[in-house]
Every structure is written in structure tokens, then in C-alpha cells.
Amino acid sequence: MDYIAKVPKSEQLQIELCKWLVEWCVTEKRTYLKHRMELKLAGLYLDVGEPDKGSKIIDPILVEVRKADDKLLLVELYLLESKINYKVRNYAKAKASLTASRANANNVYCQPSIIAEIDLVSGILYAQDQDYKTSYSYFYEALEPLM
């Protein structure tokens, strides 16, 4: 998947490969990999401008991952759900998903890039509400790991 992702304009190929890998994971009973591939697939749908399909994929995964209690995957799922809800202009649900992502991120070690992404999405949502001072502070926090 990582090699194909480097090829420009290969999103449709990546989507087909993700679908095939999800089916393979189901037959081989590889649940963790299936969740990761479905997360990737939902992100690809967001990238190609089909957030509704991504949302339909994420909802059942959230139920399964909550039962498995995989905090890091929950952080990433809620973050992606927040981005999808922002894209479909459901700002209240985007904020709720982001809050859930941040709450789970406080319970487990997350890479600085994931924390920065949470801060970036927070800044975008606060800018949407025209709270520019808070938005600026989140944007600054998002850029801090890069400095």
C-alpha cells in the first residue's frame, strides 16, 4: 500500500486494493489488519471526495474497536471521523469526534504527528466558529513539532 500511495493519481487503484485486502483479512480472520485497511480505505474515500462512503465504513469499525479497546486505533478513527464530518459540514459531530480523539489520545502514547494533526483539525474547527485566537494557538501547537 505504501509503495502504491507514492504513485501520483493512484487513488482508485488504492481503493480497489484496500477493498481486496479487507476481503482477504475477513477470510484469513486478521481483525487488526482489517481495521487498519478499513481506516485507510475511509481516508482514501475522503481524499477522492466521497466522505459519505468513508463514514459508512468508519461507523461499524468504531463499535468493534471499542470492544477490542485499542486506544491508538480509536484516536485515529475518531480523528478521521472528525475530518469526514467537517467535510460534510456536520460541525457539531466533527467537534464531538475530535473531543473523543483527544480524550483517547490522553490515555495512550501517540506519535507527535498524530497529536499535531489533532491540533490542526482543532484549529480548523475553531476558525470555522470564528474564534481566531484559540484557532491560532492550536495552529501554533500543530507546527511546534516541526520546529
In a domain, 132, yes or no: no
In a domain, 119, yes or no: no
Q: The pTM is what?
A: 0.91
Q: How far apart are CA 95 and CA 36, in angstroms?
A: 23
Residue 147 has pLDDT above 80, yes or no: no
- The answer to whether 81 and 97 are in contact (CB under 8 A) is yes
- The answer to whether 64 and 35 are in contact (CB under 8 A) is yes
In a domain, 120, yes or no: no
Residue 144 confidence (pLDDT): 85
Spell 74-98 as b/e; 16+ CB within 10 A means b: bbbbbbbbbbbbbbeebeeebbebb
Instruction: Report pLDDT digits (tens) over 98-115.
Output: 999 999 999 999 999 999
- With residue 42 as reference, give the H or E element that holds it: helix 31-47
In a domain, 102, yes or no: yes
Q: How far apart are CA 37 and CA 29, in angstroms?
A: 13
Number of domains in the chain: 1
User: Residue 69 is part of a domain; what is its CATH number?
Assistant: 1.25.40.10
The three grid cell numbers given for residue 4, joined into one nine-digit string: 502504491
In a domain, 147, yes or no: no
In a domain, 141, yes or no: no
In a domain, 131, yes or no: no
Span 4-13, average pLDDT: 88
Q: How far apart are CA 68 and CA 65, in angstroms?
A: 5
Residue 1 confidence (pLDDT): 80
- The answer to whether 86 and 49 are in contact (CB under 8 A) is no
- The answer to whether 39 and 80 are in contact (CB under 8 A) is yes
Domain that holds residue 96: 2-109
Residue 143 confidence (pLDDT): 92
Residue 25 confidence (pLDDT): 94
In a domain, 28, yes or no: yes
The three grid cell numbers given for residue 83, joined into one nine-digit string: 475530518
The three grid cell numbers given for residue 117, joined into one nine-digit string: 494533526
3 state SS of 44:
helix
